[in-house]
Amino acid sequence: MNAPTGDGPATSPRPKTPLLDRVRVPADLRNFSVEQLRQLATELRAETVSAVSVTGGHLGASLGVIELTLAIHAVFDTPRDRLIWDVGHQCYPHKILTGRRERIRTLRQGGGLSGFTKRAESEYDPFGAGHSSTSISAGLGMAVARDLKRARGIADDRQVIAVIGDGSMSAGMAYEAMNNAGALRSKLVVILNDNDMSIAPPVGAMSAYLSRLLSSQSFLNLRDVAAKMARRFPRGLERTARRAEEFARGILTGGTLFEELGFYYVGPIDGHNLDHLLPVLRNVREADDLGPILVHAITKKGKGYAPAERSADKLHAVSRFNVITGEQVKPPPGPPSYTKVFANALIDEAERDPAIVAVTAAMPTGTGLDLFGKRFPDRCFDVGIAEQHAVTFAAGLAAEGIKPFCAIYSTFLQRAYDQVMHDVVLQHLPVRFALDRAGLVGADGSTHAGSFDLAYLGCLPGIVLMAPADEVELTHAVATAAAIDDQPSALRYPRGDGVGLTIPQHGEVLPIGRGRVLREGGRVAILSLGTRLADALAAAEELATRGLPATVADARFAKPLDTALIEQLARHHEVLITIEEGSVGGFAAAVMQHLAWKGLLDRGLRLRPMVLPDRFIDQDTQPRQLATAGLTAKDIVTTVLQTLGQDAALTAVAG
């Protein structure tokens, strides 16, 4: 399929989908013939392309699992059988088939469908995701729960199916789960969706192993599949015969790694061929004495949509686009993104310091390290989706005098928290963490929001924690981190573009733990951490017009605190507002703790900590998320006026 019939630009008519129109839930397709399912695959693909063309989102992965999605829902009794999608970014066709088609053009929009699987959204999403490599663990838990209920005499024969991509197979959790599954022997179906792609081309020995599995033989043909699976061994058959079969299966399929882990391996099979998928899955469904089963399905990311197939990243994630040409709607040109500023600043530092290296966990483009890797191919390490390893690998580098910058999204560093604490911070190793996507991230929603790093890093003794306020400050923060050689450091910056300042050629090393005052005022002080500074300054402008000139300070560091600056603000103002794009327990908590011990809260200072609310914020545009969180300039003004009891003035703000 090049372009679904009838589709044009984002606003063009929808594709004709007569069969899909008959499917509201998976039960509606279970009596379809294979021929009908093939037709349904064409329609589902067209509908997926059409929907994502108006919403943007993770297109390539969804297109790669169209046939797999149909086959699973045709063979298994979802939602009674539990279907778990790893990461969940490939779940759009699944959502279309599971009662959410009418809302599919609200994907990733405020108030709309999540871009990932979500328990609260549908009974067909038994386990939510967004972060990778959790599906086998969750699936095993569900399978064992079933077995435990059965042992208590509760009838439960549901199947559990986990679909995991080859990229996600690189994470430790997937192996921990397989290791446990092989020992527990509970019936669990793992489908390895192998498209030989992560976001970037996959890396590592596991990826090479999977490629060898495929290149050493073609797909298992249907006769082999049928023979092998229909001929499941009756109980009591000679052990030697069973061994012989296992040996033959190993040779035929080469899936020995999985078999050594205790999985019954089937594959590799063509994940786009319903004639293969359906009988394999039916056999897998019926097998009840094989323990965990791994079906190795070979698919193509972006399958069936020419612009996706020919693009280097298979259109992993897109903005809105024209269906005919594949051309994406580009935002109007603006200042460079924080990601790019970080990458350029790091390259600049690395030009002058050969000890600097960079580490990414499967996010070279997202973190800007693709640029670093082009300039310094031998000094850039993509370790695959393996944040825990990335951190301890960086610790090892640092222990030997290399200067690693470990660039990981704030949300994904959560997975490596023990490594941060135990392997880096406790040993005072000068690993530099560059936390991209700090704060609210927009369409990816709550799974990807970088809300917690100020809290989870700020509580660790001996780390330097920076939150630059703009792109110039980010350049300085990179230079500062490069210069910190005797302790760990981290800098956090948000998704999106800078504010448009002229970026210096080289960053300056900042004095550690010192903030700056940008504006002097009277009764009110606003102490901002990070990129909320622009709104703090805008609020001060507004307050000045109301006869309330405010002091505005940029803390620059969440740790160590600029205690002199904080005390001075507390002593000389009636109202102190702190603002940060981070959760409860972050910068404001540290400021309050300090002021409390100094006794500066004992004499009437009115302190208002403005932080993210204590709940998860769903997908929306970033500006609307900030408004939902109450962290805009207007919210600052309102907070100040309320705090001063100037309620009458509030009406004017609301207007």
Ligand X SMILES: CC(=O)[C@@H](O)[C@H](O)COP(=O)(O)O
The count of C-alpha atoms lying within 13 angstroms of the C-alpha of 351, restricted to the half-sphere facing its C-beta, is 11
Residue 385 interaction partner, one of ligand X, Mg ion, ligand TPP, none, beta carbon < 5-8 Å per kind? ligand TPP
Tell me if 89 is assigned to a ligand binding site. yes
User: Is there a catalytic annotation at residue 374?
Assistant: no
Give the number of other Cβ atoms within 10 Å of residue 255's Cβ. 22
Among residues 45, 73, 82, 89, the one that binds ligand X under rule CB under 6 A:
89
Minimum distance from residue 157 beta carbon to ligand X (Å):
33
The residue among 91 and 104 lying less far from ligand X, judged by its C-beta, is: 91
User: Is there a catalytic annotation at residue 35?
Assistant: no
Q: Which residues bind ligand TPP (CB under 6 A)?
A: 61, 64, 87, 89-90, 131-132, 165-168, 195, 197-199, 301, 362-363, 385, 387, 412, 415
Tell me if 165 is assigned to a ligand binding site. no
Residue 444 interaction partner, one of ligand X, ligand TPP, Mg ion, none, beta carbon < 5-8 Å per kind? ligand X
Strand ordering across the sheet containing 403-409: 380-382, 356-360, 403-409, 432-436, 489-492, 464-466, 557-559
Give the number of other Cβ atoms within 10 Å of residue 458's Cβ. 19
Contact between 495 and ligand X by CB under 6 A: the answer reads yes
Contact between 583 and Mg ion by CB under 5 A: the answer reads no
Contact between 197 and Mg ion by CB under 5 A: the answer reads yes
The residue among 200 and 633 lying less far from ligand X, judged by its C-beta, is: 200
Contact between 86 and Mg ion by CB under 5 A: the answer reads no
Residues 588, 471, 567, CA angle at the centre, nearest 5°? 30
Contact between 408 and ligand X by CB under 6 A: the answer reads no
Interactions with Mg ion, residue window 516-545 (CB under 5 A): none
Interactions with ligand X, residue window 501-530 (CB under 6 A): none
Among residues 126, 366, 384, 582, the one that binds ligand X under rule CB under 6 A:
366
Q: Under a CB-based contact definition with an 8 Å cutoff, are residues 490 and 354 in contact? A: no
Helix (H, G, I), strand (E, B) or coil at 62: helix
Span interacting with Mg ion, options 5-13, 118-126, 145-153, 164-172, rule CB under 5 A: 164-172
Span interacting with Mg ion, options 13-21, 158-166, 227-235, 283-291, rule CB under 5 A: 158-166
Q: What is the CA radius of gyration of the chain?
A: 27
Query: What sign has the CA pseudo-torsion 169, 438, 582, 467?
Result: positive
Minimum distance from residue 397 beta carbon to ligand X (Å):
25
Give the number of other Cβ atoms within 10 Å of residue 342's Cβ. 29
* First-last CA distance in the chain: 52
**Structure tokens belonging to residue 568:** 């001075």
Residue 317 interaction partner, one of ligand TPP, ligand X, Mg ion, none, beta carbon < 5-8 Å per kind? ligand X
Strand ordering across the sheet containing 606-610: 516-519, 550-554, 524-528, 575-579, 606-610
Residue 437 interaction partner, one of ligand TPP, Mg ion, ligand X, none, beta carbon < 5-8 Å per kind? ligand X
The residue among 444 and 618 lying less far from ligand X, judged by its C-beta, is: 444
The residue among 13 and 334 lying less far from ligand X, judged by its C-beta, is: 334
- C-alpha dist (Å) from residue 370 to 177, 225, 367, 376, 586: 31, 41, 8, 10, 31
Tell me if 344 is assigned to a ligand binding site. no
- Mind giving me the DSSP string for 574-601? SEEEEE-SS-TTSHHHHHHHHHHHTTTT
Minimum distance from residue 387 beta carbon to ligand TPP (Å):
6
Interactions with ligand X, residue window 241-280 (CB under 6 A): none
Contact between 600 and ligand X by CB under 6 A: the answer reads no
Where helices occur in 152-238 by DSSP H, the ranges are: 172-184, 205-215, 222-230
Give the Cα separation of 16 and 267 in Å (integer).
35
Tell me the residue nearest to ligand X as measured from the CB: 366
Residue 283 interaction partner, one of ligand X, ligand TPP, Mg ion, none, beta carbon < 5-8 Å per kind? none
Tell me if 316 is assigned to a ligand binding site. no
Choice among 187, 249, 301, 403 that is catalytic: 301
Tell me if 572 is assigned to a ligand binding site. no
Interactions with ligand X, residue window 179-208 (CB under 6 A): 199
Tell me if 387 is assigned to a ligand binding site. yes
In sequence order, the 6+-apart residues with CB closer than 8 A to the CB of 193 are: 64, 65, 68, 90, 163, 164, 165, 166, 271, 297, 299
Contact between 444 and ligand X by CB under 6 A: the answer reads yes
Choice among 379, 415, 492, 559 that is catalytic: 415
Choice among 43, 47, 387, 542 that is catalytic: 387
Give the Cα separation of 295 and 321 in Å (integer).
34
The residue among 87 and 383 lying less far from ligand X, judged by its C-beta, is: 87
Tell me if 167 is assigned to a ligand binding site. yes
Minimum distance from residue 407 beta carbon to ligand TPP (Å):
12
Minimum distance from residue 30 beta carbon to ligand X (Å):
30
Residue with tokens 């040109």: 333
In one letter, which amino acid is 194?
A: D
Q: Under a CB-based contact definition with an 8 Å cutoff, are residues 281 and 294 in contact? A: no
Span interacting with Mg ion, options 183-191, 196-204, 429-437, 507-515, rule CB under 5 A: 196-204
Contact between 118 and ligand X by CB under 6 A: the answer reads no
Residue with tokens 């929009």: 109
Minimum distance from residue 492 beta carbon to ligand TPP (Å):
17
Tell me the residue nearest to ligand TPP as measured from the CB: 165
Tell me if 166 is assigned to a ligand binding site. yes
The residue among 7 and 270 lying less far from ligand TPP, judged by its C-beta, is: 270
Among residues 166, 387, 473, 562, the one that binds Mg ion under rule CB under 5 A:
166
Give the Cα separation of 83 and 90 in Å (integer).
13
Residue 379 interaction partner, one of ligand TPP, Mg ion, ligand X, none, beta carbon < 5-8 Å per kind? none
User: Is there a catalytic annotation at residue 286?
Assistant: no
Interactions with ligand X, residue window 278-337 (CB under 6 A): 317
Residue 495 interaction partner, one of ligand TPP, Mg ion, ligand X, none, beta carbon < 5-8 Å per kind? ligand X
Q: Under a CB-based contact definition with an 8 Å cutoff, are residues 258 and 294 in contact? A: yes
- Mind giving me the DSSP string for 370-397? HHHHHH-GGGEEE--S-HHHHHHHHHHH
Tell me if 168 is assigned to a ligand binding site. yes
In sequence order, the 6+-apart residues with CB closer than 8 A to the CB of 413 are: 387, 391, 420, 433, 435, 453
Contact between 87 and ligand X by CB under 6 A: the answer reads yes
Give the Cα separation of 647 and 649 in Å (integer).
5
Minimum distance from residue 58 beta carbon to ligand TPP (Å):
7
Burial of 302 (0-12, 13-18, 19+ CB in 10 A): buried
Q: Under a CB-based contact definition with an 8 Å cutoff, are residues 628 and 616 in contact? A: no
Minimum distance from residue 431 beta carbon to Mg ion (Å):
29
Residue 500's nearest CA partner among 624, 343, 337, 331 is 337
Please state the residue numbers annotated as binding site for Mg(2+): 166, 195
Task: Indicate which residues carry an active-site annotation.
Answer: 301, 387, 415
Binding residues for ligand X (CB under 6 A): 58, 87, 89, 199, 317, 366, 437, 441, 444, 448, 495
Please state the residue numbers annotated as binding site: 89, 130-132, 166-168, 195, 305, 387
